[in-house]
Structure 1
Amino acid sequence: MKKVYISLLSIIFVLLISACSQDNGDTDTEVKIAEVTRSIFYAPQYIALEEGFFEEEGLDVELQTIAGGDKVMTSLLSDNSDIGLVGSETSIYVKARGAEDPIINFAQLTQTDGTFLVAREPNDNFEFDQLKGSVFLGQRKGGMPQMVGEHVLKQNNIDPDNDLELIQNIDFANIASSFSSGTGEYVQLFEPTASQFEKDGIGHVIASFGEESGKVPYTVFMTKESYMNENEETIKKFTRAIYKAQQFVQEHSAAEIAEIVQPYFEDTDLDLLESSVERYKSQNSYADNPILDEEEWNNLKDIMDGSGELPEDIPYEDLVNSQIAEDVISE
């Protein structure tokens, strides 16, 4: 009888603990993020994960890397992901194809282009007209890096189609290795690859496309309109966590940030991560709040139009929800 009594007490104790856990909201909301690539350019996202900002909001975030903006869109539209981190141009492409459930931009992470112009030889007195007649290894046609690259060239009176040999048929993942093996005289690269090339003596950063092009919604968190309507509180909590991370990045040094995010870049030396973060911080690439404003949206469309890649002039209010971000930063 005594054993039965003890067993009953044990069961009651377990049930009480379980009930308390549920009452305290210990069951987090699961959110699946699809990032378009693993990049130090997305440092605030990794800060939000490592510093527990998502957990503070009761979110259990699963991060997956899906290479290619089109593949991120497919993942969102097929409900394999809840939120995508990718360039805003992808939401325009989806809308222009007649999607009944459009992709809505709700929190901006980066606000400039993240690529740098790398030359084989150092050049302290670089001028863009020196690119004329050269072989330029660019990014994938139709993607934001290539569109911004062409935009900057045109701003500097260079016709990408006639003034140089522009290579666009190499996959994103193979661009760096193609340059290091001898293809091209100039290449457009993200960090930390640009810094790694400098360290290895393969190339030298001579210009920043981010500084040249101005502010654009380069990388933005987005989701299906239906998901946002059904999970508005989750989206708000997510945006709040990102805003905390953005403030953290603004208030801490490149060295501190690099050390925190290093687990996401195990094959990259800490000093390269630090120099990469410093470059992005110095040119204000990391947005200091999640609001995507209309001026940035229009700049994006101008760049797309100039590259012949704007399928339709879609208004800001059709694909951008800034209200949630505005509510978060006003709290």
Structure 2
Amino acid sequence: MKHPSHGAFALCAVLALTACGSGSPSGDADGEPAEENAAADGELTEVELGLIPIVDVAPIYLGQREGIFEEHGLDLTLTLAQGGAAIIPAVSSGDMDFGFSNVTSLLIAADNGLPLQTVAAGPQTTGDSENDFGAVLVKPNSGIESAQDLEGQRVAVNTLNNISDSMISQGVLEAGGDPSAVDFVEVGFPDMLAQLEADNVDAIFAVDPFASMADDEGHDRIFAPYADVVEDLGVGTYFASQQLVDEDPELVESFHTAVRESQAYAEENPEAVREVLLEYTSIDESMLEEISIPAFPEDVNLGSLEEVAEISERHGLIGELPDVEDLVWEGAR
């Protein structure tokens, strides 16, 4: 389902999007809540969710498989993208109803005036530096042994000026290094390992399943930016446009509740998380047990979001600190 945005063209221009879509809101002509109508007549409301093919979004695939979204009147279509920075303009313009993004992308969008709202919690770091789902990896015997050693090195991240390089920069700073001396290179997660092995980069920041693939090839973990920089870092969230929140709060409530239940199911069933990865990633089945599973909280961590905002401002990603509560739908706080 597509929702029109009165400021779609202006919003897309901020993020250099060349084409924007429009459509109709999710409520029906009688103005009755979408989920109530679905329950009454057996019809489901079609919604589109933009995702990245990484372990972070496993709860969504599980929720779809277990019928959780259908229970809440939603017929969910999943659309894959390389990063949240690509999903944000699609949600802003109404081309997608909901999206998944790391929290830094949403902070940057808000700083640029895009009216978005976090509506459900996503993955959270395990807090285990040795076994988190995201890590900086290097080739054996590279001489790079710590975050400080990344000075002067080429480091692959999936999106520049975002959560990965800002957290790495903060880690380098805290280790006594100069983050401005790190040469960040944008590389998609699926291509990082090949770029490292070809010596086109000196280090990669990968998340599972790609981090575990690099482990399997014998590369060394030197630093866990998500686990080491912010305690209980909430890495990503699910979001909607402010227009959708205002025009169809029942749909937002249905989506929020379905995601919350899916997160809880994933947290309670880590083996199911591993199994569902085979449906949407390229990981080999033999590696499933090696993958680090994130924590999947049910609620948005406002304290973590505030710390990420401070780091983003410190490293020049945003111009001023927001009131993070204004960025989170009241039902998700």
- Normalization by structure 1: what TM-score? 0.78
Q: Distance in 1 between matches of 2:209 and 2:311?
A: 25
Q: Distance in 2 between matches of 1:173 and 1:81?
A: 24
Which amino acid in the other structure matches residue 82 of structure 2?
A: A
1:69 alignment partner in structure 2: 84
Q: Distance in 1 between matches of 2:152 and 2:97?
A: 45
Which amino acid in the other structure matches residue 316 of structure 1?
A: V
1:86-235 correspondence to structure 2 within 5 Å: 86-99=101-114, 102-112=115-125, 114-121=133-140, 126-131=145-150, 134-162=153-181, 165-170=182-187, 174-201=191-218, 203-214=219-230, 215-235=232-252
1:4-83 correspondence to structure 2 within 5 Å: 24-35=40-51, 37-83=52-98
- Indicate the larger mover: 43-52 or 181-190: 181-190
Q: Check 1:129–1:318 CA distance in 2 against 1; reply closer, same or farther (3 A cut).
A: closer
- Richer in helix (by share): 1
Q: Secondary structure of 1:110's match?
A: coil
2:322 alignment partner in structure 1: 314
Q: Distance in 2 between matches of 1:90 and 1:138?
A: 14
**Is there any run of 5+ residues in structure 2 with no aligned partner, and where?**
1-36, 126-131
Q: Distance in 2 between matches of 1:80 and 1:133?
A: 40
Q: Distance in 2 between matches of 1:311 and 1:66?
A: 27
Q: Distance in 1 between matches of 2:120 and 2:161?
A: 22
**CA distances 1:71-94 after superposition (whole Å, capped 9, x unpaired):** 212211221100011123333333
Does residue 239 of the first structure (1) align with residue 256 of the second (2)?
yes
Q: Distance in 2 between matches of 1:96 and 1:128?
A: 28
> In the TM superposition, what is the alpha-carbon distance from 1:40 to its structure 2 partner?
1.4
> In the TM superposition, what is the alpha-carbon distance from 1:117 to its structure 2 partner?
1.6
**CA distances 1:127-167 after superposition (whole Å, capped 9, x unpaired):** 444545655444532111111111111121121223xx523
Q: RMSD over aligned Cα, in angstroms?
A: 2.7
Structure of higher CA gyration radius: 1
2:311 alignment partner in structure 1: 303
Query: 1:115–1:145: 8 Å Cα contact kept in structure 2?
Result: no
Does residue 294 of the first structure (1) align with residue 299 of the second (2)?
no
% identical equivalent positions: 19
Work out the number of aligned pairs and report it: 289
**CA distances 1:51-75 after superposition (whole Å, capped 9, x unpaired):** 1110111110111012233321221
**CA distances 1:245-289 after superposition (whole Å, capped 9, x unpaired):** 22222222x333212342122x3212323322xx23xxxx33321
Q: Check 1:132–1:224 CA distance in 2 against 1; reply closer, same or farther (3 A cut).
A: closer
Query: 2:135–2:206: 8 Å Cα contact kept in structure 1?
Result: yes
- Normalization by structure 2: what TM-score? 0.78
Q: Secondary structure of 1:73's match?
A: helix
